Amino acid sequence: AQSVTQLGSHVSVSEGALVLLRCNYSSSVPPYLFWYVQYPNQGLQLLLKYTSAATLVKGINGFEAEFKKSETSFHLTKPSAHMSDAAEYFCAVSDPFSGGYNKLIFGAGTRLAVHP
C-alpha cells in the first residue's frame, strides 16, 4: 500500500531563509507525487506535481521539488521564504496504475512558520 511520510510537523524559518519541507513515499511502483498548500480555513491548492517527466519540478510561488527515486523522496524547497508562505503543506502520492481513479494519499502535513 502507498504511504507518505512528512518529516517534521512544524518548521520555522526566518524571512529570506531557505525553506526545506521533507517528504518520503512508499510505493511499489513509480508514483505520481504532489505538493499542496493550505491556508487557514481554506481548501488545498496545488503547488506542483511530478508525473515521471523531469525530476526537478517547478511550481507556483517560487517553490520547487526534486524527485529522487533512490531515496524515495520528494522534498519541497524555496530559496527565500516570504511571510506569505506561512501555511500548512501536504505531500501526496497517487498510483498511476490505479485504474484511472486519480486517488491521492496525503501525508500528515507540515506547518511552516515564517518569522521576521
Partner 1 sequence: EAEVAQSPRYKITEKSQAVAFWCDPISGHATLYWYRQILGQGPELLVQFQDESVVDDSQLPKDRFSAERLKGVDSTLKIQPAELGDSAMYLCASSITGTGIYEQYFGPGTRLTVT
Which parts of this chain interact with partner 1 (CB under 8 A)?
4, 9, 32, 36, 41-46, 49, 51, 90, 92, 94, 96, 100-104, 106-109
Amino acid at 2: Q
* Least separation in angstroms between CB 29 and partner 1: 13
36/91 Cα distance (integer angstroms):
6
Toward partner 1, which CB reaches closer, 100 or 116? 100
* Least separation in angstroms between CB 24 and partner 1: 14
44/24 Cα distance (integer angstroms):
20
If DSSP codes are grouped into helix, strand and coil, which group holds residue 104?
strand
Toward partner 1, which CB reaches closer, 9 or 14? 9
* Least separation in angstroms between CB 84 and partner 1: 18
59/48 Cα distance (integer angstroms):
5
Strands 73-78 and 19-21 come out as antiparallel
Toward partner 1, which CB reaches closer, 26 or 80? 26
